[in-house]
Amino acid sequence: MGRQRTRMEVWLGCGVATLAVVVVALTITIIVMVTKKSDTLPAAPTAPASTVSTVASTTSTIAPPPADPYQQPYNENLYDTIVRQNLAQQADISTQLLQEFQPMNIRDNLRWLTKTLHVAGTPENAAVMKQLGQQYQSYGLTLKTHDYQVLLSYPNYSMPNTIEVQLAGQMDWNLVSNGTAQLLGPPEAMQQENDSRALNWWNGYAKDGVATGRLVYANYGSLTDYVLLDSHNISLQGAIVIARYGDIFRGAIAVEAERRGAVGVIIFNDPLDYANDLPASDTFPNTIWLPPSGAQRGTLLQTDGDPLTPFYPAKPYTYRTTDEATLRKEHAMPNVPVTPIGYRDALTIFQQMTGPEVTGDFAQWKGGMNVTYRMNGGDSTFRLTVNAFTDMRTITNVVALFYGADEPDKWVMFGNHVDAWTFGSIDPNSGTATMLEMARVVATVSNRTGWRPKRTLAFCQWDAEEYGLVGSTEYVEEHLKLLENRAIALLNVDNINGNVTLAAKGVPLLYRALVDAAAKVP
Ligand SMILES: *[C@@H]1O[C@H](CO)[C@@H](O)[C@H](O)[C@H]1NC(C)=O
Ligand SMILES: *[C@@H]1O[C@H](CO)[C@@H](O)[C@H](O)[C@H]1NC(C)=O
Ligand SMILES: *[C@@H]1O[C@H](CO)[C@@H](O)[C@H](O)[C@H]1NC(C)=O
Ligand SMILES: *[C@@H]1O[C@H](CO)[C@@H](O)[C@H](O)[C@H]1NC(C)=O
Ligand SMILES: *[C@@H]1O[C@H](CO)[C@@H](O)[C@H](O)[C@H]1NC(C)=O
Ligand SMILES: *[C@@H]1O[C@H](CO)[C@@H](O)[C@H](O)[C@H]1NC(C)=O
Ligand SMILES: *[C@@H]1O[C@H](CO)[C@@H](O)[C@H](O)[C@H]1NC(C)=O
């Protein structure tokens, strides 16, 4: 889940998404990379020595050199002259690159990339990274891998997070959330996704433990919402906050609640924001909209990169300048239990709430569930149990290089992460599967024609993005000087979805390149 743009992306100032863009990205490369002239075409095969003498003795004239198919008459166009582009060759290579893309390869890539749950720092994700590196190598690219030892967090998959309620004046606790989604979809998909770990709802870096208290609703958990609660003297001291996703970064929802004394935080996806306000029957698998048991997983980390090594690469020799307890105390990660839930369970919880209705200043706090939205749970007590742990794990970035012909030390970079919260078919492997095909296409056309891009292409596959841009941040921290001198441009994808309309964000410098490249997509 792209909670924000990757550090790499921000650093070079561009972010890109959607299928068309990747095709476009490739075309941009061609524009950015001023293609090399005919001297990169394969040399004409040399005839064996014996035939050379025969030829020499029977003809007295030396054959003219073969015509350069890309030779252009002198062009008055100042741009062409200055940049010395061989436009005919560029157009030809561009067409060959576009024609070489095989959509079925992207499908097959996606299949193997998403066969297992592959959360960062797990053996499953390490296996995906390894195979990805081998795949790039098999296309003829040079493989570099970069390991880091970082602090990650996991749920206890066998003990899902739970929420219980003890109604006012009663003794027993009733379960209102069992912390697990429901397996949905066509039978084939359900079979492929049959891994109970994919059903756990959890947030990265949530504090392990139990929170007990009254329940207070905080709308989107934005600063504006908390200030409104403050202004009405509604205290969060000792309370569990329930808030909905959709306005701000989830980590900030938790931190502001905690600053006001909250002991636990529950975050749900309101159907108004995530199901287009449709009834459950019009959600997945019948439509693309979020079903009642769907919940957004995601990190709560407030900083980018490995939390224990800010500004330094998390190598074995790096001094850890802080520790988990300090980070929690300083609100870089929450010091209270936090969990996401689906609106299936949020509905059950709101049905148990007895506080005043949201009206007046709070009228906008009403969402899309078929229930009366209330300010709090009255005198009932709620109990949130989060089963989680942190661990030092090794992550690996894969960087595959296709060396340029003229300026191999200048890099045009493509980036995307590989790790996912579950199978990652859309986020992020729809992008990864396409990047891999881009590499194959470039290598194939190069093998066929002898063409190489002017500059090196770097296919960067980041690890542990989901936790807070960890892989890419550590890579930049380790290679900052190098990148300052080598990086020419970065095109980043996260996931590829939507329709045929191109959506791209980038620095103004890339505007023309994007438009020109888009125009080449058939
Ligand atoms: C390109 O050629 C190299 C060298 O023969 C080969 O190893 C590589 O697999 C080829 N790449 C593709 C994508 O066919
Ligand atoms: C997860 O929960 C199980 C069952 O209660 C327990 O045996 C196990 O130790 C827990 N694992 C971790 C890593 O806490
Ligand atoms: C969790 O609760 C829902 C109903 O709220 C139920 O349909 C589902 O089967 C339960 N899952 C587990 C694993 O108990
Ligand atoms: C998932 O696997 C379990 C056994 O591990 C099996 O009982 C169940 O029928 C499977 N469900 C689906 C939808 O394939
Ligand atoms: C909040 O409390 C302050 C101080 O006790 C009081 O002056 C103010 O009127 C209260 N505001 C509301 C909305 O109750
Ligand atoms: C909303 O809930 C009420 C009572 O629980 C029910 O009678 C009504 O049919 C529901 N409306 C919709 C649109 O589901
Ligand atoms: C595709 O989706 C975008 C964003 O939702 C929308 O602006 C655009 O009109 C859609 N294009 C088509 C062809 O449906």
The residue contributing the CA closest to ligand 7 atom 10 is 501
- Does residue 161's CB lie within 6 angstroms of at least one atom of ligand 3? no
190 Cα nearest atom in ligand 4: 13
Which residue out of 158, 161, 385 has the highest number of ligand 2 atoms within 8 Å of its CB and is therefore the one to mutate? 158
The residue contributing the CA closest to ligand 7 atom 9 is 501
How far is Cα 445 from Cα 287, in angstroms, rounded to an integer?
40
The residue contributing the CA closest to ligand 7 atom 3 is 501
pLDDT for the residue 62: 63
Which residue out of 153, 154, 159, 196 has the highest number of ligand 2 atoms within 8 Å of its CB and is therefore the one to mutate? 159
Centroid of ligand 6 to alpha carbon of 266 (angstroms): 24
pLDDT for the residue 505: 86
pTM of structure: 0.86
The residue contributing the CA closest to ligand 5 atom 2 is 233
Torsion angle, alpha carbons of 229, 235, 239, 245, to 10: 10
Centroid of ligand 5 to alpha carbon of 227 (angstroms): 13
Centroid of ligand 3 to alpha carbon of 288 (angstroms): 22
183 Cα nearest atom in ligand 4: 13
Q: What is the DSSP string of 177-213?
A: E-SB----S-HHHHHHT--GGGGB--EETPPPEEEEE
pLDDT for the residue 76: 58
- In 347-502, DSSP assigns E strands to 381-386, 388-402, 407-417, 455-462, 487-492
Give me the half-sphere count of Cα atoms (radius 13 Å) on the Cβ side of residue 521. 19
pLDDT class of 41 with cuts at 50, 70, 90: very low
Which of 465, 466, 474, 477 does the annotation list as catalytic?
465
Q: Using the predicted structure, report yes or no on whether residue 519 has a pLDDT greater than 80.
A: yes
Which residue out of 188, 192, 194, 199 has the highest number of ligand 4 atoms within 8 Å of its CB and is therefore the one to mutate? 194
Ligand nearest to the CA of 230: 5
Q: What is the mean pLDDT of the chain?
A: 87
Centroid of ligand 3 to alpha carbon of 451 (angstroms): 58
How far is Cα 299 from Cα 469, in angstroms, rounded to an integer?
10
Which residue out of 122, 154, 156 has the highest number of ligand 2 atoms within 8 Å of its CB and is therefore the one to mutate? 156
Centroid of ligand 7 to alpha carbon of 497 (angstroms): 11
The residue contributing the CA closest to ligand 5 atom 8 is 233
How much is the average pLDDT of 121-135? 98
Q: Any residues with Cβ below 6 Å from ligand 4, and which?
A: 183, 190-191, 194
- Does residue 498's CB lie within 6 angstroms of at least one atom of ligand 7? yes
The tens digit of pLDDT for each residue in 468-503 reads 999 999 999 999 999 999 999 999 988 888 888 888
The tens digit of pLDDT for each residue in 399-449 reads 999 999 989 999 999 999 999 999 999 999 999 999 999 999 999 999 999
Backbone angles phi and psi of 210, in degrees to 5: -120, 135
Ligand nearest to the CA of 351: 6
Task: Give catalytic status of residue 164 as yes or no.
Answer: no
Instruction: Please give the C-alpha separations between residue 511 and each of 160, 229, 484, 515, in angstroms, as whole numbers.
Output: 47, 44, 22, 6
pLDDT class of 31 with cuts at 50, 70, 90: very low
* Helix (H/G/I), strand (E/B), else coil: 337: coil
155's enclosing H/E stretch is: strand 142-155
| DSSP code for 158 | T
Ligand nearest to the CA of 231: 5
The residue contributing the CA closest to ligand 5 atom 6 is 233
The tens digit of pLDDT for each residue in 137-178 reads 999 999 999 999 999 999 999 999 999 999 999 999 999 999
The tens digit of pLDDT for each residue in 327-369 reads 999 999 999 999 999 999 999 999 999 999 999 999 999 999 9
The residue contributing the CA closest to ligand 1 atom 9 is 139
Centroid of ligand 4 to alpha carbon of 297 (angstroms): 23
pLDDT class of 77 with cuts at 50, 70, 90: low
Q: Please give the domain boundaries of the chain with CATH numbers for all domains.
A: 5-35+86-153+392-519 (3.40.630.10), 157-386 (3.50.30.30)
Q: Are 41 and 449 in contact (CB under 8 A)?
A: yes
- The residue with tokens 């791209």 is 504
- Give CA angle at 65 (62, 67), nearest 5°: 140
